């Protein structure tokens, strides 16, 4: 399934219209969850359940040079949508919960331990990390498994810059990412939605790909807490849950990491989780998606989901000869 996809045509800003907020969204979501009606309308409710409050970013500027090679010619999603509509279960399962509750997250001091099958293990201070390589702004699509998508100007540098410095050994084949799990800071940990801490992983060649971004900011500012401050990864050709947030440890291994969602529901969340319109989630079709910011009506047109989220020309070769319906 070595497929190549072309990016979407340019979308002008005039096509993006403000979204109405459903005041009774919780009632509607509960009703939808009661049966098959909920499964049918899951993508619609996912994009309609907006935060009721305006989120607060840190406001701290983060200088970066735009990398034209990774600058999509598409309208960017609105800052308030990107920072108020989040999956970050450590702060709650509702899309509005992270913006409400992530204020408790302490992002300074912060360290990131890099360990495992590397010649030069090291514990990095967050400010040391920020100086490892020039910061770039890259405009990437984000596609989530529930059926919604955004276009976001991220700030960071290729994860490969860090990987090269720690020098993986010849036996290292995978990279595991472990997020912070602190009940004092993260109220969502009180609910056993997953086996905490949150763990994600990539093959080493995926982690080394230039698109994989070690991410420190968005929209010219440091990452808001609800978006994974102070450091996360962004893997634009995979579903959003693969991009681990608030990372405290990166570990190089010989065996495939036991990632959180795959352990929790292996028939629903594969290790690879490449955006693939031909492989449905058991409860949602992946054939189409809703771009956040393009209306909130049952009749709002959807977009066709692109193979590898539109990054096929860059990444399809990583999976040459693989059956991506088996290795989903």
Residue 63 burial (CB count, 10 A): 10
Q: Total domain count for the chain?
A: 1
Q: pLDDT at position 89, please?
A: 98
pLDDT value at position 297? 58
> CATH number for the domain including 189?
3.90.420.10
pLDDT score recorded for residue 93: 97
Pairing of strands 213-218, 232-234: antiparallel
Instruction: For residue 109, say if its preceding peptide bond is cis, omega within 30 degrees of 0.
Output: yes
Q: What is the pLDDT of residue 39?
A: 36
Rounded to whole angstroms, how far apart are CA atoms 125 and 110? 6
Instruction: Report the alpha-carbon distance of residue 52 to residue 63 in Å, rounded.
Output: 30
| 287 vs 42: CA distance, rounded Å | 14
Residue 146's nearest CA partner among 243, 308, 283, 273 is: 283
Q: What is the pLDDT of residue 58?
A: 61
Instruction: Report how far residue 184's alpha carbon sits from residue 200's, in angstroms, rounded to the nearest whole number.
Output: 22
Residue 104 lies in a domain: yes
CA proximity to 243, closest of 232, 256, 251, 259: 232
> CA 300 to CA 277: how far, in whole Å?
19
Domain extent at residue 62: 13-319
How many angstroms separate the CA atoms of 155 and 213, rounded? 8
Per-residue pLDDT of the chain (328 residues; tens, 9 = 90+): 444 334 433 333 333 333 333 223 333 333 333 333 333 334 433 433 333 333 445 679 999 999 999 999 899 999 999 999 999 999 999 999 999 999 999 999 999 999 999 999 999 999 999 999 999 999 999 999 999 999 999 999 999 999 999 999 999 999 999 999 999 999 999 999 999 999 999 999 999 999 999 999 999 999 999 999 999 999 999 999 999 999 999 999 999 999 999 999 999 999 999 999 999 999 989 999 999 988 765 566 689 999 999 999 999 999 999 999 999 9
Q: Domain for residue 328, yes or no?
A: no
Give the Cα separation of 110 and 130 in Å (integer). Answer: 12
In this structure, the chain runs to a length of 328
- Distance CA(317)–CA(60), nearest Å, equals 38
Structural domain contains residue 245: yes
| pLDDT given for residue 57 in this prediction | 57
Residue at 182 is within a domain = yes
Task: For residue 175, give the 3-state DSSP assignment.
Answer: strand
- With respect to residue 325, please indicate whether it lies within any of the assigned structural domains: no
Distance, in Å, from the CA atom of 55 to the CA atom of 58, rounded to the nearest integer, reads 10
Instruction: Report pTM.
Output: 0.83
Both tokens of 167, joined, read: 């020098």
Contact 166, 114 (CB under 8 A): yes
5 domain-assigned: no
**What are the strands of the beta sheet with 111-116, ordered from one edge?**
122-125, 111-116, 247-253, 174-179, 199-203
Q: Is residue 230 part of a domain?
A: yes
Q: What is the pLDDT of residue 328?
A: 96
Q: Give the residue among 127, 132, 156 at the shortest CA–CA distance from 245.
A: 156
Contact 306/144 with Cβ under 8 angstroms? no
Are 158 and 210 within 8 A, CB to CB? Answer: yes
Q: Is residue 105 part of a domain?
A: yes
């Amino acid at each position: 399934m070595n497929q190549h996809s072309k990016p979407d045509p340019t979308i002008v800003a005039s096509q993006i219209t403000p979204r109405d907020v459903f005041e009774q969204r919780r009632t509607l979501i509960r009703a939808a969850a009661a049966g098959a009606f909920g499964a049918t309308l899951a993508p619609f409710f996912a994009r309609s359940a907006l935060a009721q409050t305006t989120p607060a970013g840190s406001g701290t500027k983060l200088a970066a040079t735009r990398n034209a090679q990774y600058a999509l010619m598409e309208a960017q999603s609105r800052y308030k949508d990107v920072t108020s509509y989040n999956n970050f279960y450590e702060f709650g399962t509702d899309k509005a919960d992270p913006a409400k509750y992530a204020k408790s997250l302490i992002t300074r001091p912060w360290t990131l331990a890099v360990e495992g099958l590397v010649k030069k293990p090291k514990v990095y201070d967050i400010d040391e990390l920020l100086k490892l390589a020039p910061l770039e702004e890259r405009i990437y699509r984000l596609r989530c498994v529930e059926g919604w998508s955004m276009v976001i100007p991220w700030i960071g540098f290729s994860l490969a810059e860090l990987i090269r410095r720690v020098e993986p050994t010849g036996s290292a084949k995978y990279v595991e990412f472990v997020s912070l799990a602190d009940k004092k800071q993260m109220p969502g940990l009180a609910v056993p939605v997953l086996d905490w801490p949150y763990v994600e992983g990539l093959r080493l060649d995926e982690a080394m790909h230039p698109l994989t971004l070690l991410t420190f900011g968005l929209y010219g500012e440091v990452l808001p807490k609800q978006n994974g401050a102070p450091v996360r990864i962004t893997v634009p050709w995979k579903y959003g849950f693969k991009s681990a947030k608030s990372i405290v440890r990166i570990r190089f291994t010989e065996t495939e990491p036991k990632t959180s969602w795959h352990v929790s529901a292996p028939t629903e969340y594969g290790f690879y989780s490449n955006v693939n319109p031909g492989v449905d989630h058991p409860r949602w079709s992946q054939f189409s998606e809703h771009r956040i910011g393009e209306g909130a009506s049952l009749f709002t047109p959807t977009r066709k989901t692109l193979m590898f989220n539109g990054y096929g020309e860059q990444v399809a070769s990583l999976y040459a000869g693989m059956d991506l319906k088996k290795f989903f």
